[in-house]
Amino acid sequence: MDEGLIRNLPDLEEACAALVAGGVAALDTEFVWRATYRPHLAIVQMAGADGVCRALDCQLGTDVAPLASVVGDADVVKVLHDARQDLELICRLVGAPPANVFDTRLAAGFCGYSANLGLQKLLFDVLDVGLPKTETCTDWSQRPLTDAQVRYALDDVRYLAKLREALLAKCDECGTRAWLEEDLLKYESPEAYGDVDPDEAWKRVKGGGANRLRPRGLAALRAVASVRERRAIEWNLPRAWLGDDASLADLAWRVQRGEKRFPDVRFRHRLKNGAQRDRVAADYAAALAEAARLPDGECPDPVHPDYPREVLDAADRAHEYLVARGAELHVDPGLFANRAQIAAFVDDPETPDNPLAEGWRFETAGRTVIERFYVA
């Protein structure tokens, strides 16, 4: 089979049949994200166990049923690097969640490497393969794509099958394969690829002192972030165009300071349509007013509470322990938990959904964290 672009259903069927026969589908995407709520998918690259590469041109409207079958086939391992965003785009394209996913970036963290390495660096360190980065600023929406663009895109999947084999061998040497497989299961959750719940969008707002807001201010932040998310989806615009994070936090602070009326709502935006700007401003004002009237018991708690000094000191010591424990186990210590999760765990080991409270993390480190650092 020749490498290159897939432009029709028979070629896609042939390429997907080859992936199924080999039991491996290395996948990657190239997309454009300029003025839309979601990225615009341009191509999906795929490679088999033999390293033969093809790329589906997503702008041609080809029936993607064969690719959907591959993505959902538990007998075919899907190999990606830093899989989350690519899988979101692919799953939205094919309309189905994935089965049997292998993330080479995650796997690196279980065999002595950082779990934050880019593909180029990881390929060089593990396989001594150097990838040219000649098309990093390319326009993937242009047609026709050049031969250089296609070669660059295909290189991102060409070595993934071999990289997976090498990383698995290293995990076996380190005794961490079972822990990696436990973490890989999270990629099979359909909820991981659904739309953002607008009522939960406030938890992602950064800047403007959002992390210092108390429940009343957080109620306002939740309200305006929900407005921004819903309107961005409705108008298919980047959410930041309807107000940057700092602007939303500024609005929330008005409620926290005790304001009840909002005759003027100002926010930094990139809306070119005056009617849309006025609509969002009115929506923000109404949301702020509603948040100001909300009963105290219905205001959200801070995502990151203000812990007493003894808890923060214990969390620092626990973090030092986890760094040392990770070195012993050949595991990137960042895979245990982040700083906020560590603080929550030493404050209350029964904190819901804390990674240190379950699975391999609890068995290898979480139990000891409780014994040594729990602030009773």
Q: What is the pLDDT of residues 167-213, one digit of tens each?
A: 999 999 999 999 999 999 999 988 888 888 999 999 999 989 999 99
Number of folded domains that form the chain: 3
User: How far apart, in whole angstroms, are the C-alpha atoms of residue 356 and residue 41?
Assistant: 36
Do 102 and 186 belong together in one domain? yes
Give pLDDT tens digits for 130-170: 988 776 678 899 999 998 999 999 999 999 999 999 999 99
Do 314 and 354 belong together in one domain? yes
What confidence category does residue 42 fall into, taking pLDDT thresholds of 50, 70 and 90? very high
Q: Report if residue 169 sits inside a domain.
A: yes
Do 34 and 104 belong together in one domain? yes
> Given a cut of 60, is residue 1 above it in pLDDT?
no
H-type helices in 294-352, by residue range? Answer: 309-329, 339-347
**pTM greater than 0.75 (yes/no):** yes
CATH number reported for the structural domain that contains residue 334 in this entry:
1.10.150
Q: Report if residue 189 sits inside a domain.
A: yes
User: How far apart, in whole angstroms, are the C-alpha atoms of residue 71 and residue 73?
Assistant: 6
Do 237 and 359 belong together in one domain? no
Do 187 and 66 belong together in one domain? yes
Among residues 193, 219, 251, the one where a domain terminates is 193
Residue 276, burial from CB neighbour count under 10 angstroms (0-12, 13-18, 19+): middle
Crossing angle of helices 339-347 and 309-329, in 10° steps, is 120
For residue 214, what is the enclosing H or E element? none
pLDDT average, residue stretch 79-99: 95
Query: What does the angle CA 314 – CA 323 – CA 178 come to, to the nearest 5 degrees?
Result: 115
pLDDT average, residue stretch 220-228: 98
- Report the percentage of the chain scoring pLDDT > 70: 99
User: How far apart, in whole angstroms, are the C-alpha atoms of residue 98 and residue 87?
Assistant: 8
Among residues 137, 166, 193, the one where a domain terminates is 193
Q: Report if residue 303 sits inside a domain.
A: no
Give pLDDT tens digits for 229-283: 999 999 999 999 999 999 999 999 999 999 999 999 999 999 999 999 999 999 9
Do 19 and 83 belong together in one domain? yes
Q: Are 71 and 94 in contact (CB under 8 A)?
A: yes
Do 178 and 252 belong together in one domain? no
Tell me the pLDDT of the chain averaged across its residues. 95
> Given a cut of 70, is residue 318 above it in pLDDT?
yes
CATH number reported for the structural domain that contains residue 138 in this entry:
3.30.420.10
pLDDT of residue 93: 95
Q: Find the domain containing 229 and state its range.
A: 198-298
CATH number reported for the structural domain that contains residue 212 in this entry:
1.10.150.80
Backbone dihedral angles phi then psi of residue 44, each to the nearest 5 degrees: -120, 120
Residue 143, burial from CB neighbour count under 10 angstroms (0-12, 13-18, 19+): exposed
Do 157 and 233 belong together in one domain? no
Do 70 and 156 belong together in one domain? yes
Crossing angle of helices 160-174 and 147-158, in 10° steps, is 20
Give pLDDT tens digits for 98-114: 999 999 999 999 999 99
Q: Report if residue 304 sits inside a domain.
A: no
Q: Report if residue 283 sits inside a domain.
A: yes
Do 87 and 128 belong together in one domain? yes
Among residues 150, 177, 193, the one where a domain terminates is 193
